[in-house]
Amino acid sequence: MNPPLENDVSTKEIILNVTLELIKSEGFEAVTVRKIASLANVNIALVNYHFGSKQKLISEAVKVLLTSFQESFEVLDDLTLSPKERLKMFLLQYVSTIQQYPELVKRIITQGAVTFESQYEYGIFLKTMGFHKAQAILQELTGEEDAEKLMMMMTQVFGAVFLPTLMLPILQAGANVNLPPIEMQLDILIDRYFH
């Protein structure tokens, strides 16, 4: 088998980007190999060549999202920022990814027993680095030493930020609730609970 050409890499990236955009604009149900091939201006055989199946293509799209989440944890290491600023920047970057791909995030959350390989990899990352970094910043802000309490605080902070982000369309349409911009929400959250 010949090694992939440079052109193959760009074609693969185009297909993946089209898939991400299709998920973002129309949701998972709109994703078909035929539609992706048409939007990417390639034939179906190329989509299958690069990804093997629709499921593997979606798994790669999930991997892009989860990599973005992993990168947001890096800001927690920036000791030039105060602990509150690090927490805020981390949450802003995390929410930015959610806002960019809400359908993809909802799909990951609702997968249940069906786990993509990339979700498993992200779970390992969270266990080995992500949770530790998030817990460390909360410990720095609160002085809490108990690991179970730090984990509970972390899930509460995540829930307070991400649930409204994912539910915003429902809140706006169904309940006529308009939330302030995410940066203001984070300022209120951090000032209220981490003073």
Q: Are residues 117 and 59 in contact, defined by beta-carbon separation less than 8 angstroms? A: yes
Structure tokens that stand for 20 in this block: 């991400």
pLDDT at 171: 78
Q: Which helix (H) or strand (E) holds 100?
A: helix 83-100
> Could you tell me the CA-to-CA distances from 79 to 86, 92, 139 in Å, in that order?
8, 17, 15
Q: Are residues 92 and 183 in contact, defined by beta-carbon separation less than 8 angstroms? A: yes
| Residue-by-residue pLDDT tens, the chain, 195 positions | 444 444 555 889 999 999 888 887 887 777 899 999 999 999 999 999 999 988 888 888 878 877 877 888 889 999 999 999 999 999 999 888 888 877 767 766 665 545 566 667 767 767 777 888 889 999 999 999 999 999 999 999 988 888 888 787 777 787 888 888 889 999 999 999 987
Q: Is 71 helix (H, G, I), strand (E, B) or coil?
A: helix
Structure tokens that stand for 37 in this block: 């091939």
Residue entry with tokens 């410990």: 139
Structure tokens that stand for 151 in this block: 């984990």
Going by C-alpha positions, the residue among 70, 60, 84 that lies closest to residue 127 is 70
Distance CA 131, CA 150 (A): 10
pLDDT at 7: 53
pLDDT at 132: 86
This prediction has a pTM of 0.73
Number of H helices, E strands in the chain: 10, 0
Distance CA 15, CA 30 (A): 15
pLDDT at 4: 47
